[in-house]
Amino acid sequence: MSAITRIKAKAHVYGDHIDTDRIIPGKYTKTLDLSTLANHVLEDLDPDFHKKIQTGDILVAGTNFGCGSSREQAPLALKQAGVSVVIAQDFARIFFRNAINIGLPVLEIGNHTIQKNAQLEVDLQQGTVTDLSENKSYKATRLPEIMIAILAEGGLVNYLKKHGNYSL
């Protein structure tokens, strides 16, 4: 994997069914200047999120994270804001694909009980998360091989630039 594979950072924890309108409201999505997205990320859920987040921090959520629209601006906004990885009990499917495609790692951990401000250690290669605050370890659901290959290239753009086509 070309990107950083081990991350040690703070968890920002939110609940279930966080939809893409909450991740980045539709009114901010129509831009190619991706830096503008970071100022509005999660603003209707937690107006102070963009101030709290430090580069490398980890976003943790419950079930069905990223439901709603197909807007790729949602994972892009999180990535721009400095989120290094998103952990959720499960993800909505378009968000999940989008995140991998833009090179934002996402880990599905069905039974996590990670609490606000926990210190986490993530090994992306192994798909493991250690909650240092609770001294508890989790194993993420394994991605399909093609997603691992896409993420290994840092996203779908690089994957196709290199391979020219898909292969299983």
Partner 1 sequence: MGQTISEKIISNHIGKKVFAGELVITPVDGVMATDTTGPLSLKAFDAMGGKKVFNPNKCALIIDHAAPSPNERIANLHKMMRDFARTQDIRLFEIGEGICHQVMVENQYVKPGDIFIGADSHTPTYGALNAFACGVGSTDLAAVMMTGKIWLKVPQTIKINCSGKLQSEVTAKDLILFLVGKITVSGATYQAIEFCGEAFEGLSLSGRMTIANMSSEMGAKTGIVHPAGLQLDYDFNPIVSDADAKYIQSFDFDVSDLEPQVSAPESPDNVHNISKYEGIKIDYAFIGTCCNGRLEDLDIAAKILKNKKIHPEVRMVIAPASQSVLLDGISNGSIATLIKAGASLITSGCGPCVGTHQGVPADGEVVISAANRNFRGRMGNPNSNIYLGAPSTVAASALEGQIVNPKKYLVS
**Which residues form the interface with partner 1 (CB under 8 A)?**
17, 19, 21-22, 25-27, 29-32, 44, 63-64, 67-73, 76, 90, 92-94, 97-98, 101-102, 144-146, 155-158, 160-161, 164-168
Residue 96: burial class (beta carbons within 10 Å; 0-12, 13-18, 19+): buried
**Residue whose CB is less far from partner 1, 10 or 40:** 40
**Whole-number minimum distance, CB 11 to partner 1, in Å?**
22
Angle at 146 between CA 87 and CA 103, to 5 degrees: 45
**Shortest distance in whole angstroms from residue 100 CB to partner 1:** 9
- CB-facing half-sphere around the CA of 110: CA atoms within 13 A: 2
Q: What number of CA atoms fall less than 13 Å from residue 1's CA on the CB side?
A: 18
Name the minimum Å distance from CB 29 to partner 1.
Answer: 6
Nearer to partner 1, 109 or 122 (CB): 109
Which residue number, 102 or 122, has a Cβ lying nearer to partner 1? 102
Rounded to the nearest whole angstrom, what is the least distance from the CB of residue 6 to partner 1 in the complex?
A: 26
Q: State which residue, 57 or 75, has the beta carbon closest to partner 1.
A: 75
Rounded Cα–Cα distance for residues 40 and 18 (Å)? 15
DSSP β-bridge partners for residue 6: 123
Nearest-CA neighbor of 112 among 67, 59, 62, 64? 62
